A and B are shown apart, each in its own frame.
Chain A
């Protein structure tokens, strides 16, 4: 049995999904967290539960909404589980009425009753169930309360499709539905009434679907006839509007019967909003929060923890490996492979786990509390001036964790041009994998101003993205249309458990990558550095790795790091940015960061180090990101463009910084 979970954005579908399937999917407190359908196994093995992106209506505007409509048209579903936000019942019911027209067995989960009660709204769910003709179960998706009842009702075989037409669209439209249905009878398994109404509403997905089944001209004629008939009515604007108003009438009647409103108290949300989205304080508060996040990650908490972990890895862990290797009389080759290759390569990356987890914790906090949408609002003015909109800031913020989900999050942006622009620019956001590089270099060269220097890199990434947005939007991607309407969800006090889950979920990817990709990469890089044209165990400067690095090293001479070591690590950095650190640890022979930091001072000046960090920040996105850009844009041209422009801009900026610094006498 296939059960689809569907509802308005930010109504708790994914929270419920996690509760009903026992899995853990990404949740957050803003509209558009889920951008793809996700399938899980329903508790008690009842079947598959399919989590869909949130939609207001089945007539899509953006790509994530299109996912839902295509799902309805092209895949089979046995039951619909519609989640309603009790505090916004009116708006939510617009979708419900459309779903019921689809004529599949349906069930309603009424969520956020607590929020509704706080606003002084009481809902008679029994009455609602009676009117709609489907079961209504009150649930608290975050805690899982009411889920057992939901499982029982879904499991019951008796759920019948409700055949009564809740919305009467008026004589003219009902006649058109009949005519439309006549054209399609026997050609599809979907509800004809549903297809007809969606077609009249201007749903492009449905239009393409039905046009493939029958003569498009006939359908168009029906719609044109209907429009001309309705035009005679005085207040007729468009078919879409007409249908909307008909549904609204029905909903108002339902609301009058099921909801009782008492005097409302001002919710906490509005008090917080008067501060964080304050005219003057909004932006400073955001910057202060970011600064606090960086200080905690790089200075106050993250670095001391990383140092402890580093001491543990280079001390007891290395000693342990040495002991075991000694006990089994391992050959010099194996010994070197383990100690100089694996421990140095993988350990060098693992050291940064504490810092990365702190960063992810903050990002989760932003997502879960409801602040994310406010940031989008606060940033919109700046984003608008460069041809983007405030919503584009959300993918960029997520990009600070990892660019891949950041690029996916761009699906919620409605206009294709702004979406493409966001996809192209999100890789400039400094992801967590670039963080170890900064941590290493600031430790070696800028110990006194760690957080400040790192913050300057993050800000540089944002500034470059904004400047390029302006450049691209006035040259390559010219268009007037821009859309910015954003829902600001009520604040929620983040629960520690869900915060931790969310942090762990993001962070485990980093740990897993260290155990697989970086592990294999370290072995490979070490082998390249161990072997050379003249045989094994050669001097590192005569290894294959040095030979490869030397080919491209001259390119980087003008920007301050024309060594084969830097070149080799930049090549591996394309595979995964953390690999830069593994490679450096292996190349420079030192099994710990403290030793590596001391050694780096021989190879880099502080100016060259900064130039190197800027280059790492901006140059070609990692392999996984490039693959995601290709998947999301479906264009080889734009994918290639994203790699080339990033490389060019990185080179130019590093050149300006290094040569400019030399001229000023800083190097």
Chain B
């Protein structure tokens, strides 16, 4: 048995007739170019209009300009460290070591949404907190949370469209209302999410902000039982609504400076709260909140006792990719999760290779 020419016993074949030569060359061409074509298709070269991580990162750069060494979103921030102390109550839901009773070190980064690293702090800005939990067995749990109650969009496509629709018009310097109107008509779930986001009173600073996982995840316990969950960090600091004095025009870094001063004064703490979905709750749409009566379990306390500048902290070079998860925590069917992972990776790769410019929140500022 042989792969070719199995009907011929003669080892040295004669000259190929011209027609046969052509057809054989065509076969070779079809195979080789076919593989190359499929490769090009898989790599997206044949579908240049498809939405990709590159295009989303490019969009941020088009909106904000390129600021070398900075994150393409949540560019302005300050790094922190501390520890998470688990009370053991999460262990029934999730087999991860993080929920065994005990303490693990964390590093994190507070940030303001947007791609401008030197912009003045503003009351309206989205506040972010990325946390890396370092588990005793070497595993990591990374989470990037924001202070919004829900996310403004359901899909990566809607996210991209919102970036386009909310971009300032070059003529007026303000977003074009017609574009926003079209966006809202095309994305009714966003139309429902906007009032929830706008209706939530912002707190006076980072220290008394809540931070939410936004996306749903799955917890898997030792018996293999799966629960759909979301989590949030609830501050121990008392809530105070933000006032004009909290964002002064004289100090561009007022929100960060106030956070730094508080951490120097005393360690800040947040309770980590797991919200359990009921059957029927939406896990693939981050614009929809779960009902208030859902069971909430306090699983431990996050303590932040050190603050450091982006310029000196290892957290600057950590990608708070929400899908770096320990065994026991898994992604849900929320389409934003994989997209976040992909775009964060794109942003990380770009900034890591660039010359790093000094952070607005310098080491001198965090040392004050």
Q: Do A and B come from one complex?
A: no
B residues neighboring A (CB under 8 Å): none
- Interface on A for B, CB 8 Å cutoff? none
